[in-house]
Amino acid sequence: GIVSSVSRTNVDCYCRALELQPEHEDAWYAWRNLGMAGGGKIHGNFFTKMDCYCKVLEMRPDHADAWCNLGVIGGGVVNGITYTQLECLC
């Protein structure tokens, strides 16, 4: 979309939302979308797909799509616990 006459990508918008309100109750939605888009930079730090899906699961541990997406990319660490690809997909 266009914000203040500047064209912004979806990734730009997800990152900006997370910069402004990282603790918002619906921030998981921006994390999920950012992960599906391949990740992005927030406050100078790059977050990979895996990072994004783990953030979703920290906020919404019952989010089935995020578990599936994390499993598809090989697993990851959620709240300090390492999950394998199989554990994410089961």
- 31: tokens are 């994390």
Report the DSSP beta bridge partners of residue 41. 46
pTM to 2 decimal places: 0.91
Question: How many helices (H) does the chain have, and how many strands (E)?
Answer: 5, 6
pLDDT digits (tens, 9 = 90+) for 27-70: 999 999 999 999 999 999 999 999 999 999 999 999 999 999 99
Q: What are the two backbone dihedrals, phi and then psi, of residue 78, each rounded to the nearest 5 degrees?
A: -125, 120
Q: Is the pLDDT of residue 4 over 80?
A: no
C-alpha angle 48-15-18 in degrees, rounded to nearest 5: 105
Which residue reads 């997909």 in tokens? 89
How does the average pLDDT of the chain come out, rounded?
94
Q: What is the pLDDT of residue 6?
A: 75
